[in-house]
């Protein structure tokens, strides 16, 4: 029997056992193709409910056998508050280890009791490592490939377990580069945490590739006052200021507010290319009573940069060129003519109301809009060893996105069983207008060439009006889904079941050269789900097993005008989580087998079009350790081994090939030691190492991208240990790629489109916090 078959058989046996228990407890449930999911009740309004008795306490005591205690909730202190609160899945975390998550179950559930791999990057970890964007925040997460498009990209594109990962903000989907050029970028300073949910997740979220998804949690108003300002400066004339202030707006704490902002003016390691940004995120919470909460969430961001360079030809990036390698600082565009602008804003809310001890309702809503204007050079190949063929590109795009998610949660008992049932309905609608103009699109690369080792600028730049539209399309995409989830607890066992029915529609009008002019439309429906089982031992060990499915609607058509049917996937996972009693350390290990069918790939008879014939399979193992070894020493460690293979292909030679731009081996280790006593009290020293194994830059595996190892470091000091009147003042210096290692991060679709990794970057931050 195959590994996937063993997973299915084990889960069917577990489901049968629980079904008998349900029958014995006089609880009847309709069977369906889709499993239904479970959840732990979120702890709403902890501060407001302190005086209330524990729900169902008497019934819990009547259980004949002693039930293992749920995973402990960590006490956390909101930044600058100096006070302690109970950790929530959408709130702050003290240190690197999160104990709660909302991503896997859409409820506030202990990670230790969730039968799925979840990696959480906390605000404290992001601050300690000095991350500047989403890709950097994910560099120490096993199984994640963060630099899919290189360091200088207008996409936050990430692969999880070899598959493109959709991005969510506060549980609601963001527009992606698959549907539009105008994809919003999320500022990490505005995030409380960043969660990577691994494995197929369509059972709760709908359309999604089977590798996993990224859910980013915004900073929200807190019940305690906090004020923080900081300045960052360093490499490439980087000057950045940021602030984070908030707390109660009235003495009764009925209204809470928060205002987060950042301004950056910076050059980059590439000549003539900037990295400027303005970001502001106001939020407000209204709590009219202990059972109701309404939180307004919003942000505005404006990126306006001169210069843009995403790729360099592989012929001058890899070793072997007799003239050497291109310098990371070399600009292959036209200074003063190129630029990139991205303006975005989002407004939404999170509403929660508890009717009684057993029933609550949540509604999340957001409207997002983004506009992009890009004009730049793109390399298209080489002439000899030094001349780079170029094309001049214009991209103008706009997208708007509406997302709504309604959830009813019921917590109840039935005999020996404890249920947490979630019923939800969500809806997403996206509209995008995109136009891509390029000089002489057939063939590419007729713009004035440039010498990669001795560039001479000044070529005549074609105007927007003078160029033909290679891509000009108007897209609409909608998805409506109903999902049902139940988490059934029996003694130390937790059975998680979920099922979802989706209806998805995609349509677009093409008025450019690609795809062929015309109107394309497709309507699809899909049923997906997840079943998982875990057992929590008294010593903190929690083995689990799960099986889940996925689907992804596809935009576009083949060269004959046929639209693509959805890509489907399935995955099985066996793992164990372990949190030693009395510690703030969690270890996670997992083996998984993920498969995807109806994969869209380039048509070998016409590379300007795609066809739908391929299938892929990713098997692998992951390990992660996160938390405190001692009070002073915190670590983040990860390892992943993937076997990502093409199992079916229209190109016979690609069968058995490794999936492109997917590292088969990754390892990382970060640690920081902070002294709290003695002559070094207040000093913190951090160091990290990241290894990424070989990858391939094309489907045929003819472009080998060598492995690389990078080193990071940090030093910090809390001045309150020097003088009590300096409480709240801290300084920190972060260095990334400490040895200035030259490496190629990826090659997007072939040798002309390779992205260089970022060289050594040193930034210093001075911060002052008070309350």
Q: Which pLDDT tens digit goes with each residue over 224-251?
A: 999 999 999 999 999 999 999 999 999 9
At residue 148 the predicted structure's pLDDT band, cuts being 50, 70 and 90, is low
Peptide bond into 515 cis (omega under 30): yes
Q: What pLDDT, in 10s, does the model give residues 712-758?
A: 999 999 999 999 999 999 999 999 999 999 999 999 878 999 999 99
Termini Cα distance of the chain: 61
Average confidence (pLDDT) over 187-191: 97
Average confidence (pLDDT) over 465-483: 93
Query: Residue 350 pairs with which residues in a beta bridge?
Result: 295, 364
Residues whose CB falls within 8 Å of the CB of residue 374, separated by 6 or more in sequence, listed in order: 154, 181, 308, 339, 340, 341, 393, 394, 395, 396
Q: What pLDDT, in 10s, does the model give residues 412-434?
A: 999 999 999 999 999 999 999 99
Tokens representing residue 206 in the block: 């709908």
**pLDDT value of position 444:** 67
d(CA 662, CA 326): 24
Q: For residue 462, with 0-12 CB atoms within 10 Å meaning exposed, 13-18 middle and 19 or more buried, which class applies?
A: middle
At residue 28 the predicted structure's pLDDT band, cuts being 50, 70 and 90, is very low
- Residues 243, 261 contacting (CB under 8 angstroms): yes
- Residues 701, 653 contacting (CB under 8 angstroms): no
Query: Residue 606 pairs with which residues in a beta bridge?
Result: 603
Above 60 in pLDDT, residue 709? yes
In degrees and rounded to multiples of 5, residue 316 shows phi and psi of -110, 0
Tokens representing residue 402 in the block: 């509406």
Above 60 in pLDDT, residue 76? no
pLDDT > 90: what percent of the chain? 74
**pLDDT value of position 41:** 37
**pLDDT value of position 25:** 38
Above 60 in pLDDT, residue 56? no
Average confidence (pLDDT) over 36-60: 37
Query: Beta strands of 249-306 (E only): which ranges?
Result: 255-265, 277-289, 292-306
516 or 727, which is more confident: 727
Tokens representing residue 377 in the block: 């050079």
Reduced to 3 states, what is the DSSP secondary structure of residue 5?
helix
At residue 10 the predicted structure's pLDDT band, cuts being 50, 70 and 90, is very low
Reduced to 3 states, what is the DSSP secondary structure of residue 173?
strand
Above 60 in pLDDT, residue 74? no
61 or 576, which is more confident: 576
Of 215-229, 439-453, 501-515, 561-575, minimum mean pLDDT range: 439-453
**pLDDT value of position 179:** 59
Query: Beta strands of 517-664 (E only): which ranges?
Result: 518-535, 541-552, 567-578, 585-603, 606-628, 633-648
| Closest by Cα among 305, 310, 390 to 340 | 305
Q: For residue 225, with 0-12 CB atoms within 10 Å meaning exposed, 13-18 middle and 19 or more buried, which class applies?
A: middle
Of 48-57, 188-197, 415-424, minimum mean pLDDT range: 48-57
Place of tokens 């060129």: 321
d(CA 693, CA 706): 7
Q: Can you give the pTM of this predicted structure?
A: 0.88
Average pLDDT, the chain: 87
Tell me the chain's radius of gyration from C-alpha atoms: 26
d(CA 202, CA 501): 10
Average confidence (pLDDT) over 583-607: 91
d(CA 509, CA 133): 34
| Closest by Cα among 435, 603, 401, 559 to 509 | 435
Q: What pLDDT, in 10s, does the model give residues 196-221?
A: 999 999 999 999 999 999 999 999 99
Query: Beta strands of 660-707 (E only): which ranges?
Result: 665-674, 683-692, 695-696, 704-705
Of 122-136, 141-155, 492-506, minimum mean pLDDT range: 141-155
Above 90 in pLDDT, residue 155? no
Average confidence (pLDDT) over 53-69: 37
Average confidence (pLDDT) over 361-389: 94
Q: Is the dihedral of CA 733, 739, 742, 747 positive or negative?
A: negative
**pLDDT value of position 515:** 81
Query: Residue 768 pairs with which residues in a beta bridge?
Result: 229, 729
Of 168-182, 361-375, 586-600, 643-657, minimum mean pLDDT range: 168-182
Of 23-27, 71-75, 579-583, minimum mean pLDDT range: 23-27
d(CA 83, CA 91): 14
| Closest by Cα among 475, 410, 595 to 40 | 410
**pLDDT value of position 445:** 65
Q: What pLDDT, in 10s, does the model give residues 638-696?
A: 999 999 999 999 888 889 999 999 999 999 999 999 999 999 999 999 999 999 999 99
Distance of CA 151 to the CA centre of its chain: 16
**pLDDT value of position 564:** 85
d(CA 494, CA 43): 19
- Longest Cα pair distance anywhere in the chain, in angstroms? 83
d(CA 762, CA 744): 20
d(CA 181, CA 396): 8
Residues whose CB falls within 8 Å of the CB of residue 761, separated by 6 or more in sequence, listed in order: 234, 235, 236, 269, 735, 736, 737
Above 80 in pLDDT, residue 493? yes
- Residues 627, 120 contacting (CB under 8 angstroms): no
**pLDDT value of position 650:** 86
Query: Residue 611 pairs with which residues in a beta bridge?
Result: 601
CA distances from residue 287 to 66, 221, 248, 350, 658 in whole angstroms, order as listed: 37, 11, 11, 12, 53
Distance of CA 258 to the CA centre of its chain: 24
d(CA 660, CA 628): 36
Place of tokens 């929660």: 352
Could you give the count of Cα atoms lying within 13 Å of 489 in the half-sphere of its Cβ?
A: 22
**pLDDT value of position 153:** 63
- Residues 266, 236 contacting (CB under 8 angstroms): yes
């Amino acid at each position: 029997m195959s590994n996937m078959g063993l997973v299915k058989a084990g889960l069917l046996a577990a489901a049968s056992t629980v079904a008998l228990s349900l029958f014995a407890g006089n609880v009847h449930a309709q069977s369906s193709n889709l499993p239904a999911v479970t959840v732990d009740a979120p702890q709403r309004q902890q501060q407001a409910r302190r005086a209330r008795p524990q729900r169902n306490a008497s019934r819990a005591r009547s259980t004949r056998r002693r039930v293992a205690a749920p995973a402990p909730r960590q006490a956390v202190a909101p930044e600058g508050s100096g006070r302690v609160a109970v950790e929530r899945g959408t709130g702050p975390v003290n240190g690197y280890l999160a104990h709660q998550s909302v991503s896997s179950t859409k409820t506030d559930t202990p990670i230790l009791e969730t039968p799925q791999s979840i990696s959480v990057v906390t605000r404290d970890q992001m601050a300690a490592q000095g991350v500047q964007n989403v890709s950097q925040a994910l560099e120490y997460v096993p199984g994640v490939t963060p630099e899919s498009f290189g360091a200088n990209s207008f996409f936050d594109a990430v692969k999880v377990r070899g598959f493109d990962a959709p991005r969510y903000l506060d549980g609601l989907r963001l527009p992606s580069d698959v549907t539009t050029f105008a994809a919003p970028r999320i500022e990490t300073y505005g995030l409380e945490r960043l969660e990577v949910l691994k494995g197929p997740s369509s059972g709760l979220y709908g359309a999604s590739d089977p590798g996993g998804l990224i859910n980013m949690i915004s900073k929200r108003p807190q019940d305690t006052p906090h004020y923080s300002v900081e300045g960052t400066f360093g490499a490439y004339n980087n000057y950045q200021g940021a602030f984070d202030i908030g707390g109660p707006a009235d003495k009764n704490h009925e209204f809470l507010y928060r205002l987060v902002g950042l301004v950056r003016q910076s050059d980059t390691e590439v000549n003539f290319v900037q990295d400027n940004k303005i970001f502001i995120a106001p939020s407000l919470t209204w709590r009219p009573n202990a059972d109701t909460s309404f939180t307004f969430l919003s942000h505005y961001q404006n990126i306006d940069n001169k210069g843009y360079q995403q790729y360099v030809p592989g012929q001058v990036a890899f070793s072997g060129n007799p003239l050497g390698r291109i310098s990371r600082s070399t600009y292959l565009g036209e200074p003063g003519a190129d630029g990139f602008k991205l303006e975005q804003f989002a407004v939404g809310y999170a509403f929660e109301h508890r009717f009684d001890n057993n029933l609550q309702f949540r509604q999340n809503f957001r409207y997002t809009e983004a506009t992009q204007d890009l004009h730049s050079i793109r390399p298209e190949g080489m002439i000899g060893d030094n001349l780079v063929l170029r094309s001049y590109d214009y991209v103008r795009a706009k997208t708007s996105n509406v997302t709504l998610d309604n959830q009813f949660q019921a917590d109840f008992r039935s005999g020996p069983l404890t249920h947490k049932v979630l019923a939800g309905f969500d809806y997403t609608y996206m509209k995008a207008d995109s136009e891509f103009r390029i000089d002489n699109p057939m063939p590419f690369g007729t713009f004035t060439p440039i010498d990669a080792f001795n560039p001479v600028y000044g070529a005549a730049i074609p105007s927007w009006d003078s160029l033909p539209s290679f891509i000009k399309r108007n897209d609409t995409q909608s998805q409506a889904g109903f999902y049902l989830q139940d988490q059934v607890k029996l003694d130390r066992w937790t059975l998680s079941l979920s099922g979802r029915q989706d209806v998805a529609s995609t349509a677009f009008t093409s008025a450019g050269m690609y795809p062929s002019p015309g109107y394309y439309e497709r309507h699809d429906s899909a049923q997906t789900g997840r079943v998982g089982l875990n057992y929590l031992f008294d010593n903190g060990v929690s083995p689990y097993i799960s099986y889940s499915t996925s689907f992804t609607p596809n935009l576009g058509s083949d060269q004959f005008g046929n639209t693509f049917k959805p890509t489907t996937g399935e995955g099985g996972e066996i793992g164990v989580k372990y949190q030693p009693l009395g510690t703030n350390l969690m270890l996670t290990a997992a083996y998984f087998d993920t498969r995807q069918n109806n994969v869209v790939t380039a048509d070998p008879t016409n590379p300007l079009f795609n066809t739908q014939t391929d299938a892929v399979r990713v098997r692998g193992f992951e390990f992660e350790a996160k938390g405190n070894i001692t009070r002073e020493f915190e670590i983040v460690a990860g390892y992943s081994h993937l076997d990502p293979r093409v199992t079916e292909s229209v190109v016979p030679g690609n069968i058995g090939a490794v999936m492109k731009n997917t590292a088969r081996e990754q390892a990382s280790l970060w640690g920081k030691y902070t002294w709290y006593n003695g002559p070094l009290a207040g000093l913190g020293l951090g160091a990290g190492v990241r290894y990424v194994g070989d990858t391939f830059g094309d489907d045929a595996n003819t472009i080998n991208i060598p492995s690389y190892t990078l080193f990071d470091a940090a030093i910090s000091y809390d001045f309150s240990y020097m003088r009590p009147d300096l409480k709240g003042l801290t300084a920190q210096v972060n260095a990334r790629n400490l040895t200035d290692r030259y490496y190629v991060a990826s090659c997007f679709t072939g040798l002309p489109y390779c992205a260089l990794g970022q060289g050594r970057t040193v930034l210093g931050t001075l911060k002052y916090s008070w309350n």
